[in-house]
């Protein structure tokens, strides 16, 4: 039996629909649609989000080091920070940069292949102006670098590459070397146009001049260490600290440190008036030192070896005859306690 609604019931139903208490078929929630990501087989994603994030962290360290080194060299306020890290084709990167510009081809030893460091012309000419004694003001120059300007930028890029080596040291002992500097992007074809690259864009400010630095790394170059570009590997490497790779890096850096070496015959206390009275031909007799006793050879402030004096060619020299044993800290504490007793 069909039920007929009264006018009052119809009015109540219309009121409920307008207030939202009753849903009409049109207002019922539609089933949630699945998010579909469009995948372009011509531009395959070869870097995961985790790997992109690790590359970003590495170059944030590189940006901090570059900020410090350029500020000191240019004697001006320099600020560098990572703006973005993207993956794209090499052709897209070449089309996105101005012509002419400063393109440094970087040999990524021990990795195979090369990378490109591109510096915006506004930043390049601001740096050159500062180094030539100017204020580093913004200019609208759009031309190739002269030989002198190119030589100046080579020095800047070499210093920047030193920062890059330190920033990458947790992942690999990278030894980046400057190959050549180009100004036309078409002459810097390091990989095929369709090859995927990771592009690190660094916003750079020199004084009041803003610009960009782009670091382009092809996938073929970074592929051998792609497994190391993960957050898990990164943080575990940072925590380890004393890995063989890190020790080798420290050893290489310590090998270039200069230290003073002093061959010490002996020592004695003299009054200032006696020192002032010394003249040519005077003899100072050292207590408790005999003519045949070996001399102490001090490295820095520590006595490390025993040696004998002599001559090698036309120069005065010493011959190391014995290495002195170092006193361990615990042995020193024992001697100190015994002395106090």
Together in a domain, 125 and 57 = yes
Together in a domain, 58 and 165 = yes
CA nearest 124: which of 98, 100, 102?
A: 102
Together in a domain, 120 and 198 = yes
Tell me if 136 sits within 8 A of 127, measured CB to CB: yes
How many CA atoms lie less than 13 Å away from 212 in the CB half-sphere? Answer: 14
Tell me if 121 sits within 8 A of 138, measured CB to CB: no
Calculate the dihedral angle through the C-alpha atoms of 166, 71, 184, 223, rounding to the nearest 10 degrees: 20
Amino acid 333: pLDDT: 47
Together in a domain, 175 and 322 = no
Amino acid 331: pLDDT: 45
Together in a domain, 217 and 75 = yes
Together in a domain, 245 and 265 = no
Together in a domain, 315 and 180 = no
Instruction: Answer whether residue 1 is part of any domain.
Output: no
Range of the domain at 303: 258-272+293-327
Amino acid 19: pLDDT: 67
Tell me if 196 sits within 8 A of 43, measured CB to CB: yes
Instruction: Answer whether residue 279 is part of any domain.
Output: no
Phi-psi region for residue 281, left (φ > 0), alpha (ψ -120 to 50) or beta?
A: left
Which H/E stretch holds residue 37?
Answer: none
- pLDDT (tens, 9 = 90+) of the chain, 341 residues, equals 445 566 667 777 777 776 666 555 554 555 556 666 665 556 666 778 888 888 888 899 999 999 998 988 888 889 999 999 988 889 889 988 888 888 999 999 888 889 999 999 889 999 998 888 888 777 777 788 888 999 999 999 999 999 998 888 888 888 999 988 988 888 888 888 888 899 999 999 988 888 899 999 998 888 888 888 776 665 555 545 445 666 777 787 788 888 888 888 888 888 898 888 888 888 888 877 887 888 888 888 888 888 988 888 888 888 898 888 765 544 444 444 444 44
Together in a domain, 87 and 231 = yes
Angle at 286 between CA 282 and CA 287, to 5 degrees: 145
Amino acid 338: pLDDT: 45
Instruction: Answer whether residue 84 is part of any domain.
Output: yes
DSSP H helical ranges for 147-267: 147-167, 219-222, 231-240, 244-254
Together in a domain, 262 and 250 = no
Tell me if 114 sits within 8 A of 101, measured CB to CB: no
Instruction: Answer whether residue 285 is part of any domain.
Output: no
Tell me if 113 sits within 8 A of 189, measured CB to CB: no
Judging by beta carbons within 10 Å of its beta carbon (0-12, 13-18, 19+), is residue 280 exposed, middle or buried? exposed
Amino acid 135: pLDDT: 80
Amino acid 141: pLDDT: 74
Domain count, the chain: 2
CATH (domain of 220): 3.40.1550.10
Instruction: Answer whether residue 336 is part of any domain.
Output: no
Amino acid 105: pLDDT: 92
Domain boundary among 226, 254, 282: 254
* The pair of three-digit structure tokens given for residue 123, joined into one six-digit string: 């930043």
Instruction: Answer whether residue 15 is part of any domain.
Output: no
Together in a domain, 233 and 323 = no
* The pair of three-digit structure tokens given for residue 88, joined into one six-digit string: 């794209």
Tell me if 64 sits within 8 A of 31, measured CB to CB: no
Instruction: Answer whether residue 173 is part of any domain.
Output: yes
- Torsion angles phi and psi, residue 210, rounded to 5: -105, 145
Together in a domain, 56 and 198 = yes
Instruction: Answer whether residue 200 is part of any domain.
Output: yes
Together in a domain, 107 and 203 = yes
How many CA atoms lie less than 13 Å away from 112 in the CB half-sphere? Answer: 5
Query: Model-level pTM greater than 0.85?
Result: no
Amino acid 335: pLDDT: 42
């Amino acid at each position: 039996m069909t039920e007929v609604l009264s006018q009052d019931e119809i009015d109540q139903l219309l009121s409920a629909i307008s207030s939202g208490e009753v849903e009409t078929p049109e207002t019922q929630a539609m089933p949630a649609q699945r998010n579909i990501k469009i995948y372009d087989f011509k531009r395959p994603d070869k870097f995961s989000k985790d790997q992109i994030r690790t590359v970003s962290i590495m170059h944030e360290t590189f940006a901090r080091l570059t900020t410090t080194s350029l500020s000191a060299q240019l004697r001006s306020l320099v600020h560098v920070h990572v703006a973005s890290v993207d993956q794209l084709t090499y052709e897209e990167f070449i089309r996105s940069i101005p012509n002419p510009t400063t393109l440094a081809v970087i040999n990524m030893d021990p990795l195979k292949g090369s990378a490109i460091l591109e510096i915006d012309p506004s930043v390049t000419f601001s740096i050159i102006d500062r180094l030539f004694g100017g204020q580093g003001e913004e200019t609208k120059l759009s031309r190739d670098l002269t030989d002198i300007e190119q030589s100046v930028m080579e020095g800047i890029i070499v210093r920047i590459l030193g920062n890059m080596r330190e920033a990458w040291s947790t992942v690999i002992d990278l030894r980046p070397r400057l190959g050549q500097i180009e100004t036309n992007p078409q002459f810097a074809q390091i990989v095929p146009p369709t090859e995927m690259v990771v592009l690190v864009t660094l916003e750079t400010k020199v004084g009041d001049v803003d610009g960009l630095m782009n670091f382009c790394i092809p996938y073929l170059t970074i592929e051998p260490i792609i497994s190391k570009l993960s957050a898990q590997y990164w943080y575990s490497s940072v925590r380890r600290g004393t890995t063989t790779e890190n020790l080798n890096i420290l050893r290489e850096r310590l090998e270039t440190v200069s230290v003073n070496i002093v061959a010490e015959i002996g020592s004695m206390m003299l009054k200032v008036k006696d020192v002032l009275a010394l003249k040519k031909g005077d003899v100072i007799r050292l207590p408790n030192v005999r003519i045949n006793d070996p001399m102490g050879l001090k490295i820095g402030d520590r006595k490390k070896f025993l040696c004998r004096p002599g001559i090698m060619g036309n120069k005065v020299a010493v011959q190391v005859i014995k290495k002195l044993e170092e006193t361990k800290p615990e042995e020193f504490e024992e001697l100190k306690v015994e002395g106090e007793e």
